[in-house]
Amino acid sequence: MINGLLKIVNLIKEKFRLFVTISFGIFLFILFFQPFPIDTFEFNNRLLIVAGLGAIVFIIMVIISAIFSLVVTDREVKKGEADLPQYFSGFVIMIITSAAFEFYLHYVGLVSLTLFITLKVVVICMIPPIIIGLNDLFDELKQQNDLLIIEKKIIQQHVEKYEDDILNRSIEFVSEKISENFSLLIAEVAFIRSADNYVEIVYKEGEIFKKKLIRNTLKNIESQISQYSNFIRCHRICIVNRHYIEKLHKNNDSHWLTIKGFDEHIPVSRQYLLKLKESL
């Protein structure tokens, strides 16, 4: 019982501004557009009658929403099952508000009810459930968007952790001369390019870029490092570490990369351009 009352109080607090806005909107609409023949009353009485219509809308929205908040339990429901009470509550609000409007107009406003007036009552009474439904939809979309943002941040954190783990791994570059073999952290390798019968490995030691030549082919080196997603083939003579890419440039039909802290430009061929763009 106490939990139910707390639930109703929280609902009213949450929806109070919305209900007041809808009721005041109905009040202003009826006051200015005068869809019902209540002009036989003097202005002050007419104002009170219209205010009563707005109050009816507010009271019915609060009562029906409170009842449905108690009826719909907190149990976990399958997707789509929770939509029925929401639509049904809107339908109930429209029906009860229409009936209350006609009763109020006839016995308080002394309006002779006709089919045309009844149609206008129904149309006006459709407005509150429509606005409530749109507001609920907006809140649901906002919650989904917030959840997606949180999930995106979590995924980004996992990706960053994965990339950090990869960058801190050591990779051994094998030469045809075993004495030339040497190891570097993936985070240290800026790019690798072909140099005739050798491969030039450009790496960063501290704040200084250094170069190391080993006797091998770029194709063999590429097969050695293919398991590491940081390395991207950008040209037939060059493989670059995505971690060091500063920017992809274009001039007419030519493309090239700039490396963070490095003066030389790295060529990019059309063959590898699309894959390079997807990885950046």
96 vs 100: CA distance, rounded Å: 6
Asked if residue 146 is part of any domain, the answer here is no
Asked if residue 12 is part of any domain, the answer here is yes
Structural domain range at position 236? 170-279
Q: What is the pLDDT of residue 68?
A: 80
Give the model confidence (pLDDT) of 248-257 as tens digits: 999 888 999 9
How many structural domains are present in the chain? Answer: 2
My answer on whether 208 and 265 are in the same domain is yes
Which amino acid is residue 231, in one-letter code?
A: F
My answer on whether 51 and 174 are in the same domain is no
My answer on whether 109 and 11 are in the same domain is yes
249 vs 142: CA distance, rounded Å: 38
My answer on whether 121 and 17 are in the same domain is yes
User: By three-state DSSP, how is residue 189 classified?
Assistant: strand
Asked if residue 148 is part of any domain, the answer here is no
Asked if residue 196 is part of any domain, the answer here is yes
Q: What is the pLDDT of residue 74?
A: 47
pTM of the model: 0.62
Going by the DSSP 8-state scheme, the letter that residue 214 receives in this structure is E
My answer on whether 122 and 192 are in the same domain is no
User: By three-state DSSP, how is residue 215 classified?
Assistant: coil
My answer on whether 94 and 27 are in the same domain is yes
Pairing of strands 198-205, 208-214: antiparallel
Asked if residue 105 is part of any domain, the answer here is yes
CATH number at residue 247: 2.40.50.1020
My answer on whether 127 and 195 are in the same domain is no
Backbone angles phi, psi at 237, to 5 degrees: -115, 5
For residue 102 the two structure tokens come to 């006609």
My answer on whether 128 and 180 are in the same domain is no
- What are the residue ranges in the chain where pLDDT is below 70? 1-5, 7-8, 72-86
User: E strand or H helix at 204, and its extent?
Assistant: strand 198-205
